[in-house]
Structures are given as C-alpha cells and as structure tokens.
A and B are shown apart, each in its own frame.
Chain A
Amino acid sequence: MKEFFSELWKDILKNKGAFAGLILILLFILLALLAPVLSPYSPDEVIDGALRLSPGATFQNHYFFLGTDDIGRDLLSRLLYGSRVSLMVGLSVVLISASVGTSLGLFAGYFGGWSDRIISRTMDFIMALPSVLFAIVIVAVLGPGLVNAIVAVSIVALPNFTRLIRAQVLAERNKQYVQAAHLYGASSMRILFRDILPNCIAPLIVQASLGFSDGVLNCAALGFLGLGAQAPTPEWGTMLSDARSYMETSPWMVNTPGICILVVVLSFNLLGDGLRDALDPRLKNRT
C-alpha cells in the first residue's frame, strides 16, 4: 500500500496538470479551514449603509477587498465561508456515493445473479435521467435545502462508483489470490473487503476526485435554481442566484462566486484527469 502511494505521488509530480490541481485543492482546503481567521467580517454581518460597494471600496473605516453585497455583507468573508460549504458538500457527496456505491458494486460483481441484476438495473435507471433533473425530482419530494441537495446529488453519483467497482470485481474475482483465499476458508465479506477492495483503490481515487467536482458543481446548480442551500447560507450557487438582479450594476456579486466554483471544480478535474492518465495501465505505456 505504501509503495502504491509513493508511486502515485511520483505520478502526480510528473503530470503538470495533476500537480497544479493538487496545489489548488490544498489551497482551497487551507482557505476553508482558515476561513474564521482570514475573514475580516462574519459572513452574516451586515454593515449598515455599505450596500453593493465595488471591490476595493472603503466605507467608514471599513475596507472591502471584494466589495459588498446587496444588504451590506462583506463578499470576501462570504466567499471564504462559502469554501467551507463547498468543501463540506464535496466531501459528503464523495463519502456517501463512494461508500454506498462501492459496496453495491462489490456485491453486484461478486455475487452476480439476482443481486447483480437488481443493482445494475437500478443504476441504469438512475443514469437514464439527466443528473440535475433527477436531483430536481428528489428535491421536489424532500423539499429544498442543502442537506437534501447533497442527498440528491449523492444518489445521482452512485452509478459511477457502482459500475466502476462492479467491473473491477468481475476482473478480479477469478484471479488466483481470490481463489486461494476461498480455499483458505475466508468468508465472502473478508475476501470482498480485505482482498478485492484494495485492488480497486486506484480507479476509486480517480473517481473520488471527479466525483468531488461533480458534487460541488451539481449542488451549486441546485443552489442557483433555488433548490439547494437557502439564504443566508453563504453557498456559492445560491449567492450567485441572489445576485442576479444586481448583475448589471454590481457584476462582481455574480462573478466572484462564479469564478470560485469554476476554480474548485477545475482543480478537482485536473487532479482526477491527471491521476487517470497516470493510473490507467493502458494509457501509461502508450507512446
């Protein structure tokens, strides 16, 4: 395992895109963790009279690096706290969809038969609906809100993990080490989680990185449609949607959260993409 990660690290260093992605991700995590220290104001603090000030404006001894919004809150502080929301959203979506999706994929691939048929069919079905539409259906039932949006986006992301792991298990199932474990009398659970799963780690890491970016993007889209986080949560998609009416006079209110979303999504895609190139043995030796 240690060898695998040192190899992985070397691959990341070699791939410029993946490396850039990793740096941006670390920066993003750092900003999210340090938000309370770095923010000049609290995200909900309203400074009386400081309405829609442009970036770099000063107002009664207050300085606003990225300007203020329509009710006089400091945008920089809101964006910094927004990075916490996005980090939380991305992590939750990946954790939920990866753990549930992987387990389902392991069962479907290993046991085959009916469990495989039911699981695969369900996944096909989830994939038949466009992600945001499916999330809309779920949010329509559960009601709008950040937690429900996370649940919806996680369900939408399930098939990616399930299909990936299922295919991987099908390839591993008949290998000698699995048969040897069988002969040793190891239980199915032990074989699945201790023997087969570690061999699926590489594609799982790639999918987790891409899943993070999808999760952040989809949750922000739901926020933009008014179905995700609700005011006053400083969620980037929701902030963008609230700022629409002031777009012409105060474009920074729309542009700053938009750029934040783009950079975070892009950095996870860069990392995931670079890792896929590095870890895919088919691509690795291609000239």
Chain B
Amino acid sequence: MILFFGKKLLDMLLTLLGITFVCFLLIRLVPGDPVLLLIGERNMDPAAYAEAKQKLGLDQPIPVQFIKYVGQVAHGDLGTSVVSKSAVWDEFKERFPATVELSLVALFFATLIAIPLGILAAVKKNTFYDYFLMGTSLAGYSMPIFWWGLALILIFSVKLGWTPVSGRIALEYDVPVRTGLLLIDSLSSEIREAEGLKAFWSALQHLILPAIVLGTIPLAVIARMTRSSFLEVLGEDYIRTARAKGLKENRVIFIHAFRNALIPIVTTLALCFGTIITGAILTETIFSWPGIGKWIVASLTSRDYPAIQGGVFIIAVIIVLTNTLVDLIYIVLNPRMKKAMLK
C-alpha cells in the first residue's frame, strides 16, 4: 500500500517536473529574444539590455537556468506580467475565485440534472426516454460551447432580457472581497443590511448563463456515465436478489444500486476538471467573465508570455494534484482495489 502510494507520488512529481520543463521551454521556444519577451520591450539600449539579461539569469547556461527556474517556481515566484507589471501569482490569485465560483456552480448544475436523467435512461433502457435522453446528451457532448453561449445570450439576454450579457455583478454593487465567491460575499451582513438580497440576486443572474454553458459538456458526460454505470450495476446478482425479496423498485434503485453505481460517477466528476478548464477558457471569453480563462486568452493576445507561462503552470499543477488525489481516494474507497494492491 505504502509502496503504491509512493509510486503514485513519484509519478506525480515526475509529471510536475515535466510541466515545469515545458513552461521553462515555452519562453525560450517562442520566436524572439527571451530577454525582450520577459521585459516586454521591443527595443532596449545595450546597457539596460545587458543588465536585464543578467537580472533574469539569461546569461547563464541553460541547465543552470532551468535549476534556477525550478527554485523560483518552488518559492512561488512565477515572474512578472509585462502588461500589468505585477507578479503573475498575484494576477492569478485575483482572478482564480471567479473561475472557481463559475466551475463549481456549473458542476453542481450539471450533476443535479445529469444523475437523475442518467438513472431514468438506465431504468427505461431501450425505450423512447432512453433514446431521447442519450441522443440529447450526445448532442450536448458535441456542442461547440462557444456557439452555444452566444445562442443563449441571443435568446435570454437579447430577446427576453432576462439575464445580463457579461460580467459578474451589476456595477452599482460594491461587494467587499472575503472569499472571492460573489454568491457568498454578497450575503455578508453589511451588504444585506444595505441592499437586501439584491446584490446576491444580481450575482446569481450574471452566473446562470455562463454556468449552463460551462456545465453542458460535463452534464452530457455525467448523464452517459450514470446510465452505463447503472446498467452495469442493475445486471448484478444482488440486485436480482433484492428484487426477488420483493423490495420496491424505488428502494432497489435508490438504495441498493445507487451506492455502487456512484463510484465511477464520482471519478468521472473529478476527471471533468480538465474539461471544465478548457470550457472556462471559452465560456469566460464569451461572457467577459473576469477569471483565469479570459486572462490567459488576453495574455496570449497581448503577447504577455510570463503570464501565459505562469498561468499554464498553475493550472497544470492544480490538475495533476486533483487527478492524483482522485486516484488515491478511489483506492481508499474501493475495497476491491485495496485488496488487489495489498496482495
């Protein structure tokens, strides 16, 4: 067991090292002089250039540069944005809560709808419901969400005027940052005294469309996974036994089958993280949502390479950490795998 955990952690460290290496290479592979790219200038006088080069450590051999870079990254120094001139880590920190809030609400919405639909499709296998639900979910899975977002804006914001087109909250509300999640911050006592629930309502209105757009693909994936997971479990002997005992169908499905069917669903949910980040890049661009997705695209447009380098690094690290964590939790939760491991 310990050996296995050790191997997993070693794998993780190797992947992290690989990510660091790619991010390190990024700036050196981009056409152009890395010194100018990192400073963000087109032309510099020779003296200032030499000084900058030395300060950035770019006058040293590549292996030394890499070791230095690893050291810097380990200390949380991800460089300085050439556009805002502030630390990349601070830029990231400022925007991360917006993405977290959007992603959490999207996943919540997706799971809430997907699991019942998946169960329905499995229970009504090969009926109209099943075909309809699975057809729809395949369409959801194939959805170009950058169009889906625009189509929803057209219908709900432009035609019906139900939701705002962009941003996180109406400008008139000045919500002090506590958690960075506006749905929670807007419920703080001072805001409630001043504005009642209006600020919260505004934040929610801004969040609905982006969350639906971002949740669409995970919804489809989770619904399909729930269906196949349930079909597998419903074919097991213990389900037949439960039915033979004369238990009500609802009890068989929601008590007996649900628990076992849940394991692969939870895994799928955790592995949706990558899909969510990809989706966030597109969704945030469409809705001008001030999160990390929009930030990275904007950095790319303004050729802010230190920001791209740092942003990609942090996202990759978060994903690798979640994936490893999911692997480990999965093993702890699943007694059969634990047994196999201990043998």
Contact = CB atoms under 8 A, between A and B. Distances in A.
Interface string B269-306: 00000110110011001000000000011001100010
B18 A133 contact: no
Contact of A130 (B26, B144, B274): B274
A141 B316 contact: no
A240 B147 contact: yes
A287 B235 contact: yes
B144 A244 contact: no
B147 to A, nearest CB: 3
B18 A286 contact: no
B30 A240 contact: no
A278 to B, nearest CB: 15
B144 A132 contact: no
Contact of B300 (A227, A244, A259): A227
A130 B147 contact: no
Interface string A247-287: 11001001101110110011001100100000000000011
B337 interface: no
A181 interface: no
B7 to A, nearest CB: 13
Determine chain B's interface SS by DSSP, over half rule: helix
Interface string B126-166: 00000000010011011110111011011000100000000
Interface residues of B, number: 46
B319 interface: yes
Given A247-B154, A269-B138, A224 B282 contact: yes
Nearest to A122: B18
Interface stretch (A164-172, A189-197, A213-221): A213-221
Contacts of A129: 19, 274, 312, 315-316, 319
A261 B153 contact: no
B82 to A, nearest CB: 14
Contact of A270 (B11, B138, B274): B138
Contacts of B146: 220-221, 224, 237, 240-241, 258
Determine chain A's interface SS by DSSP, over half rule: helix
Given A140-B300, A261-B144, A261-B147, A128 B19 contact: yes
Contacts of A121: 14-15, 18
Contacts of A203: none
B235 A258 contact: no
A221 B297 CA distance: 12
Q: What class of interface size applies to chain A in its complex with B? A: 35 or more
Contact of A266 (B26, B139, B297, B320): B139
B323 interface: yes
Interface in A135-151: 136-137, 139-141, 143
B275 A244 contact: no
Given A128-B15, A141-B26, A225-B282, A269 B142 contact: yes
A137 B275 contact: no
A276 B263 CA distance: 23
Nearest to B14: A121
B312 A131 contact: no
Contact of A258 (B144, B305, B308): B144
Given A130-B315, A257-B147, A261-B147, A137 B26 contact: yes
A133 B315 contact: yes
A220 B300 contact: no
Nearest to A218: B278
B2 interface: no
A262 B281 contact: no
B29 interface: yes
B22 A128 contact: no
B6 interface: no
A248 B282 contact: no
B141 A269 contact: yes
Contacts of B235: 286-287
A139 B244 CA distance: 59
In the complex, which of the residues A140, A226, A270, A286 has the most CB atoms of chain B within 10 Å of its own CB atom? A140
Interface in A47-106: none
B278 A131 contact: yes
Contacts of A7: none
B308 A137 contact: yes
Contacts of B46: none
A75 B293 CA distance: 31
B246 interface: no
B281 A132 contact: yes
A213 B142 contact: yes
B144 A221 contact: yes
Interface of B: 11, 14-15, 18-19, 22, 26, 29-31, 135, 138-139, 141-144, 146-148, 150-151, 153-154, 158, 231, 235, 274-275, 277-278, 281-282, 285, 296-297, 300-301, 305, 308, 312, 315-316, 319-320, 323
Given A224-B144, A287-B235, 9 more contacts: A130-B278, A141-B29, A141-B30, A224-B146, A240-B147, A247-B154, A255-B147, A261-B147, A262-B142
20 contacts: A122-B18, A125-B18, A125-B19, A130-B277, A133-B278, A133-B281, A136-B296, A137-B26, A137-B312, A140-B26, A143-B31, A221-B144, A224-B146, A226-B301, A240-B146, A240-B150, A247-B150, A247-B154, A254-B154, A259-B147
The 6 closest A-B pairs by CB, nearest first: A258-B147, A266-B142, A265-B142, A130-B278, A130-B274, A132-B278
